[in-house]
Amino acid sequence: MAKRVSHSESLCGVARPLDAIGDWWSLLIVRDAFDGLRRFGEFQKSLGLAKNILSARLRNLLAHGIMETVPAADGSPYQEYVLTEKGRGLFPLLVALRQWGEDFFFDPDEAHVLLVDKKNGLPVRRLELRAQDGRVVGAEDTMVQLPPALRSNATA
Residues 44-103 that bind DNA (CB under 7 A): 49-53, 55-56, 59, 76-79
Please give the size of the binding site for DNA, defined by CB under 7 A.
23
Q: Which is nearer to its own copies, 74 or 154 (CB)?
A: 154
Contacts of 141 (CB under 8 A, 6+ apart): 131, 135
Distance CA 44, CA 55 (A): 10
Residue type, 91: F
Residue 34 binding result from DNA, its own copies, none, given CB thresholds of 5 to 8 Å by partner type: its own copies
Q: Does 30 bind DNA (CB under 7 A)?
A: no
Tell which residue, 29, 28, 9, has the closest CA to residue 19. Answer: 9
3-22 positions binding DNA, by CB under 7 A? 3-4
The closest alpha carbon to 70, from 60, 62, 81, 59, belongs to 81
Site for DNA, rule CB under 7 A:
1-4, 23-25, 39-42, 49-53, 55-56, 59, 76-79
